Amino acid sequence: MKKILIYIIVAAAAMSLCSCGGRFGDVICDILGIDKNDYSAEATVTVLAEDDEVVSRLAELSKIVCFGDEVITFDSFSDCAGDYVDVVLNYLAGTFYSRYSADRQMMDLFSEKYPELSVNTLIPVSDYENTVYTYFGGNRKATVRSTAMYSYLEKIDAFIQVGQTTECSVDVTVHEAEETESTYRLTVSFYKNSASAGTYDFIFRKRDGGDPYIWRLSKSSKVYGK
| CATH code, 54 | 3.10.450
In a domain, 74, yes or no: no
- pLDDT of residue 186 exceeding 70, the answer is yes
- pLDDT of residue 13 exceeding 70, the answer is no
Residue 38's pLDDT band (boundaries 50, 70, 90)? Answer: confident
Residue 142's pLDDT band (boundaries 50, 70, 90)? Answer: confident
Across 23-27, 116-120, 186-190, least confident range: 23-27
172 in the same domain as 157: no
**Residues 25, 13: Cα–Cα separation, whole Å:** 10
In a domain, 17, yes or no: yes
In a domain, 72, yes or no: no
173 in the same domain as 99: no
192 in the same domain as 122: no
130 in the same domain as 88: yes
133 in the same domain as 85: yes
156 in the same domain as 93: yes
- What pLDDT is recorded for position 139? 67
In a domain, 106, yes or no: yes
Residue 190: which domain range?
39-67+168-219
In a domain, 204, yes or no: yes
**Residues 42, 95: Cα–Cα separation, whole Å:** 34
In a domain, 73, yes or no: no
Q: What is the mean pLDDT of the chain?
A: 85
Buried b (16+ CB within 10 A) or exposed e, 122-150: bbbbebbbebbeebbbeeeebbeeeeebb
- Over range 127-156, report the average pLDDT: 90
Residues 6+ apart with CB under 8 A from 113: 153, 155, 156
In a domain, 185, yes or no: yes
- What pLDDT is recorded for position 143? 81
176 in the same domain as 138: no
153 in the same domain as 84: yes
- Among 161, 185, 211, which residue terminates a domain? 161
- Among 135, 161, 187, which residue terminates a domain? 161
Torsion angle, CA of 73/75/80/83, rounded to 10 degrees? 10
- Axis crossing angle, helix 22-32 with helix 2-20, rounded to the nearest 10: 130
63 in the same domain as 172: yes
Across 4-13, 183-192, 203-212, least confident range: 4-13
Residue 36's pLDDT band (boundaries 50, 70, 90)? Answer: low
CB 131 within 8 A of CB 88: yes
213 in the same domain as 187: yes
Q: How many CB atoms lie within 10 A of CB 43?
A: 7
- pLDDT of residue 39 exceeding 70, the answer is yes
**Residues 193, 214: Cα–Cα separation, whole Å:** 23
For the chain, the domain total comes to 3
85 in the same domain as 63: no
In a domain, 225, yes or no: no
**Residues 213, 65: Cα–Cα separation, whole Å:** 12
CB 65 within 8 A of CB 217: yes
- Over range 73-98, report the average pLDDT: 93
pLDDT above 90 as % of the chain? 64
pTM: 0.82
150 in the same domain as 183: no
- What pLDDT is recorded for position 35? 56
Residue 6's pLDDT band (boundaries 50, 70, 90)? Answer: very low
- pLDDT of residue 159 exceeding 80, the answer is yes
Geometric angle at alpha carbon 149, from 61 and 203, rounded to 5°:
20
Residues 6+ apart with CB under 8 A from 97: 121
- pLDDT of residue 166 exceeding 80, the answer is no
